[in-house]
Amino acid sequence: MDNRAIGVFDSGLGGLTAVKELHKILPNENIVYLGDTGRVPYGSRSRETIIKYAQQDIDFLIKKDIKMILAACGTVSSTLPREISSKLPVPYVDIVLPAAQEACAMSARGRIGVVGTNATLKSNAFGRAMRGIRSDIHVYGNPCPLLVHLVENGMIEPDNQITTLAVQMYLEPLIKEKIETLIVGCTHYPLLYETFNRILDYKVTLIDSGQCAAKAVRNTLLKNGMLSDRTEPGTTEYNVTDEIETFDKTASIFLGEPVTGAVNRIELL
């Protein structure tokens, strides 16, 4: 058993959708969350910059004496080299492989779409992961660079015309390919699920990458005998790199519940 916290990070607040799932399936675990809100989004940055930011995020969490790390960021998950993640002093899980496994399992005809940031789609990480699982799949990707900005600015209502038009523009090429399954390769996007489903006419199975990753965290802890033996509910500490004045209101939307843990503004070096 290991009562240290689980470390979770993202470029902004989207990773809180993964924290929401961790709260559900591992309610007695402590969590330390880092959202790099001062530099969000990562998806439009160069590969070198993304790797540098990810290493700074990871270094911060390791200094918090966490027992494992979840990269709840599609951009980092698709970009950070394995030679870095595999050498960390604690287990590391990202959102790519768990979502790829779920999509391959759920897709009967193997016509799978992927949406995410520019960097995520450019990396083709989801496609490579799925082709390593199933040789018969057809992968169709489309980057959605505006969606992180829209979500971070609270434009998530199903009837928001700007967001609806953006989602429709990004999904149209995938609809033409007759996809049956869609990997939502950014943890910001679950807040737009109703918009996604309406545009897809509720005929496409959405794969929540953050939810899949949370399950992978639980499986990793079980496999390594690292679950907490705490009997009371765990606590969550929130750390962001920009202002915290509106954090509670915005974060509660991602979490689906009020923020109850400490909120800190921090600097990354």
The residues annotated as belonging to the active site are 73, 186
Which residue(s) pair with 236 in the sheet?
31
Contact 212, 177 (CB under 8 A): no
Residue 136's φ and ψ, nearest 5 degrees, are -100, 10
Say whether 58 sits in a helix, a strand or coil: helix
- Whether cis (ω within 30° of 0) applies to the bond prior to 27 is no
- Give the residue carrying structure tokens 């049956």: 180
Residue 32's φ and ψ, nearest 5 degrees, are -115, 120
For residue 69, give the DSSP letter: E
For residue 49, give the DSSP letter: H
- Give the residue carrying structure tokens 């033996």: 229
- Give the residue carrying structure tokens 């496994």: 101
